Amino acid sequence: MFTPYFNLKRVGVNLVSNIQVKLKGIKQLKHGQYHQKQQEVTINQQNYAFNQLNLDNPITGQIYGTALNYKGEYEALESEMNEDPYKAPPKAPILYIKPVNTFSSDGMPVPLPKGHDELQVGAALGLDLRHLAHVEQTMNEYG
């Protein structure tokens, strides 16, 4: 798992990305380079095959979500929105914070809550707003 921070540069015909990774058992993010052609990562001048790294969640801040972001979810709850305590549908986005216990690392099992035998899965898009300006600059440089 990579954080959204990256800086692309061409080294011969090999595309190299500056990356930050979080390795399991190590608290700090590690800086390194990802070599696309060789599928290798260099951290502290040591090369590792990408598929052999034991990666963890690279999350160091808060994750915010938007409730009722899916049409079916909104429609299913629409009748309750006019009841107490709400009395009307929301007029602006409803944000919530994802607690740390909801994060899951690559390849780890997902625990089921007590009394449930299935989960609803949905796709989400994540943005690290701290590096948005840097990514935009990089995209403009490399088109």
Closest CA to 17 of 133, 38, 28: 38
pLDDT value of position 142 = 58
Place of tokens 């035998």: 117
28-87: per-residue pLDDT in tens?
A: 888 899 888 888 999 999 999 988 888 887 666 778 888 887 778 888 888 899 999 989
**Is the overall model pTM greater than 0.95, yes or no?**
no
87-110: per-residue pLDDT in tens?
A: 999 988 888 888 877 777 767 788
Phi, then psi, of 30 in degrees rounded to 5: -105, 140
At residue 72, the 3 state secondary structure works out as helix
Largest separation between any pair of C-alpha atoms in the chain? 64
